[in-house]
Amino acid sequence: GENVEQHPSTLSVQEGDSAVIKCTYSDSASNYFPWYKQELGKGPQLIIDIRSNVGEKKDQRIAVTLNKTAKHFSLHITETQPEDSAVYFCAASNDYKLSFGAGTTVTVRA
Amino acid sequence: GAVVSQHPSRVICKSGTSVKIECRSLDFQATTMFWYRQFPKQSLMLMATSNEGSKATYEQGVEKDKFLINHASLTLSTLTVTSAHPEDSSFYICSARQGGGYFGPGTRLTVL
């Protein structure tokens, strides 16, 4: 099955700086790569996703890049704000089941 | 984005009792829903795939007789934890796909 690895496990950034989270996947058949933000006691919220026919996607301060050859994808958050503090999960899917990374706890220091 | 709801958000029960959790897709029809379990500071673990009108598909190591899943309509799936024990205490989250994968707000189950 699919194996998704996520790094780093924790990330502390100064407000206004950028945050980058990286994930790798093992199954070359995976074609859908969503990113989720989870706040304490809540369900994961889809923040951005990318499909395998696209190399990069951006939505305001959030961007995701995908390198299918290397089987890795990354989340970039620019101009971080305190409300960006949360746990972020990457996932990979072949249009059916999602396989999740272990998560990254992001702390934005004011 | 698509909206998925769960009920209840929190439940406390005594050991040996059964608990039912509902998952609804509010603005779209979902032939397939997914049930996850999440322990503190850990990632989401897929328990089972709920298929409308047919039997659920369980992941390896998940007891189908303990975690009963029913997907009676295109907008509702239920997870029943039978004969709950303290080790079943966890955060249960459902998900439905409409293009992207959307998650419910989760149900915190505490078994005393």
Report whether B45 contacts B38 (CB < 8 A). Answer: yes
pLDDT 10s per residue in chain B (112 long)? 678 999 999 999 999 999 999 999 998 888 889 999 999 999 999 999 988 888 899 999 999 999 999 998 889 999 999 999 999 999 999 998 766 678 999 999 999 9
Mean pLDDT for the stretch of residues A103-109: 98
Which residue do the tokens 């304490």 mark? A40
Mean pLDDT for the stretch of residues A72-101: 94
Alpha-carbon distance B16 to B85, whole Å?
6
Alpha-carbon distance B53 to B75, whole Å?
12
Measured CA distances, B95 to A47, B22, B68, B103 (Å): 15, 11, 16, 4
Which of A41, A43, A101 has the CB atom closest to B43's CB atom? A101
Which of A46, A101, A102 has the CB atom closest to B101's CB atom? A46
Taking contacts as CB-CB distances below 8 angstroms, the residues of chain A near B106 are 41-43
Taking contacts as CB-CB distances below 8 angstroms, the residues of chain B near A41 are 106, 108
Relative to beta strand A104-109, strand A98-100 is unpaired
Q: Does A67 score more than 80 pLDDT? A: yes
Q: Count other C-beta atoms under 10 Å from residue B82's C-beta.
A: 15
Whether the CB of A40 is below 8 Å from some CB of chain B: the reply is no
Q: Which residues of B85-106 are buried (b: 16+ CB within 10 A; e: fewer)?
A: eeebbbbbbbbbbeeebbbbbb
DSSP B77-111: EEEEE-S--GGG-EEEEEEEEESEEEE---EEEEE
* Chain-chain contact of B104 with A44 (C-beta, under 8 angstroms): no
